[in-house]
Chain A
């Protein structure tokens, strides 16, 4: 450690610690305002349907009902979280128009004097729906004749003309042909909820100067502000977002779902409006970590060197894109693992199904790749007659190696990290692995 450092590197106490242990930290929905209204959502009760009619008449008669919002009330009824940096497609509606593509999709918003009144009114909205065939499995969705979820005619995100994010490095087929062993595996993981203890929520408050202050637990205040500005077609300078204290995020609070509708309701009513997920909404209709199916095929030499790796991955994006197409690119960049493999082919598909949309979660695109690849490494070790440590040391990447995506490796320390773990658990390593380093191979990295 550099002797020049005063405070970096020290375990100083958390600056927010006293607030947290006394309960004085204010989270977004700890705020309360006189006259505050409550917003609740009418959701699709089925997985896929054409929406013929929304009948609000009975809901409107509930005491405490203030107003209802449908797609016609939303100035720009499209939610494209990464639209700000030019990432498309524009396909998800803030409130469903003619079709609902997943069970739980928002169709209308009810604003009422109390939460109870809002829930009562939601229950009295009558939906006239024509149920449509639905698809729930990533590979079923790609078969001819599968129900089409998207508006562009197939069930994959299109990456510059390709139905998947591709990585091509070397020649995997030639290497498979000369490999001593071929090791194959298919790995399946199910969707996972971020499940923060504080549910996603916000309160939008009209100010005297014509602006709106939005207290929110978003992970990204400007994402939320800019998306709200686009959806409501009002200049960003009429919005003032206050946040920063988040009761657990894990990726789930990168979505911008609650702020646009709460702000729209505040504009319509000129009163503060709270829109916070209930626990069951958080668990059942907020974005999840995708389900994944990952096929891995490796060509391995007798000495344990992996000379070829082919990965075909399918991530279940659910009904809409949100951040999943981006996750597949991150996945494709890392789907060969921290290993030096001279021939790699990766096809990473973002697949649409009639499921709750998936989006960001801790380990975005990589957590499940690490699961698949690291179980696969143990299978390879067994086939090659090696132990799990040896197979990883033999194949570990070093500084100066070229990754399949063509970036030269720097900051590699896999070898040193494995050496430290071995020491921690009392695992004896052969001298050759104890002496190994991540230094460039040309600089004596044996």
Chain B
């Protein structure tokens, strides 16, 4: 089968890629476009290190044919990072030591960002549920959970400040 051109919105910018059928979004992001914050721990939906947001929802890009995101908004960790510093979630991961080797970290942060977007004050159980598809081999998860709780608190106190 021949290649075809797929257009989608990546971090707010329209991109056009030429792919063979069934090429994954992960392969396109990493190897055609150079977005290497999208990691590659298993390519079978088992580790969550390749998670990106599609229309704001966390998805494992290794399981997603790029045809399926045609016309949609895709957000990688590169687009979550503000130009002038760090997102509150990233700051919280730093403060809580929520990573060691750093390989699962992009996926963890993307999932956290989606969770807090939907649910600014998640319970511990809701945080744990959100990480059901993400594996960390180093930290024991506890610092990651603490980072999400910390980011939620930081957002709440920011929101409480007048003007």
Contacts and interface: CB of A to CB of B under 8 A. Distances in A.
A423 to B, nearest CB: 22
Contacts of A30: 30, 36
11 contacts: A14-B97, A20-B105, A21-B93, A21-B109, A27-B103, A196-B101, A196-B103, A197-B41, A247-B39, A247-B102, A248-B138
A196 B78 CA distance: 23
A21 B101 CA distance: 11
A32 B102 contact: no
Nearest to B76: A23
Contacts of B47: 197, 279
A198 B39 contact: yes
Most chain B Cβ neighbours within 10 Å, of A21, A25, A250, A279: A21
Interface in B34-93: 34, 36-44, 46-47, 49, 76-78, 81, 86, 90, 93
Contacts of B102: 16, 19-20, 25, 245, 247
A246 interface: yes
Contacts of A278: 43
A21 B137 contact: no
Contacts of A196: 101, 103, 137
Given A20-B102, A21-B94, A278-B43, A248 B36 contact: no
A247 B90 contact: no
B10 interface: no
Contacts of B93: 20-21
A354 interface: no
A363 to B, nearest CB: 15
B77 A197 contact: no
A23 B113 CA distance: 14
Contacts of A27: 36, 39, 103
A23 B78 contact: yes
A22 B90 contact: yes
B43 A247 contact: no
B103 A247 contact: yes
A24 B36 CA distance: 8
Given A17-B94, A29-B40, A248 B137 contact: yes
B105 A21 contact: yes
Contacts of B99: 17, 20-21
Contact of A18 (B76, B77, B94): B94
A26 interface: yes
B41 A199 contact: yes
B101 A247 contact: yes
A198 B34 CA distance: 18
Given A17-B94, A22-B77, A250-B137, A32 B103 contact: no
Could you say which interface size class chain B belongs to? 35 or more
Nearest to A16: B102
Most chain A Cβ neighbours within 10 Å, of B31, B103, B137: B103
B104 interface: yes
B135 interface: yes
A23 B36 contact: yes
Contact of B136 (A18, A25, A26, A197): A197
Given A21-B109, A22-B90, A197 B137 contact: yes
A78 interface: no
Contacts of B49: 197
A195 interface: yes
Nearest to B138: A248
Nearest to B89: A21
Contacts of B135: 197
A412 B41 CA distance: 41
The 3 closest A-B pairs by CB, nearest first: A23-B37, A247-B103, A20-B102
A28 B105 CA distance: 16
Nearest to A19: B102
Nearest to B48: A197
A13 interface: yes
A23 B137 contact: no
Contacts of A199: 41
A216 to B, nearest CB: 15
A22 B101 contact: no
A361 B107 CA distance: 26
Contacts of A249: 101
A29 B1 CA distance: 29
Nearest to B136: A197
Contacts of A14: 94, 97
B139 to A, nearest CB: 11
A25 B103 CA distance: 9
